[in-house]
A and B are shown apart, each in its own frame.
Chain A
Amino acid sequence: GAVVSQHPSRVICKSGTSVKIECRSLDFQATTMFWYRQFPKQSLMLMATSNEGSKATYEQGVEKDKFLINHASLTLSTLTVTSAHPEDSSFYICSSHPPGPSGTEAFFGQGTRLTVV
Chain B
Amino acid sequence: QVQLVQSGAELKKPGSSVKVSCKASGDTLSNYAINWVRQAPGQGLEWMGVFIPFFGTSYYAQKFQGRVTITADESTSTAYMELTSLRSDDTAVYYCALYYYDSATYSYSYWFDPWGQGTLVTVSS
Mutual binders A and B = no
State the A residues within 8 Å of B (CB). Answer: none
State the B residues within 8 Å of A (CB). Answer: none
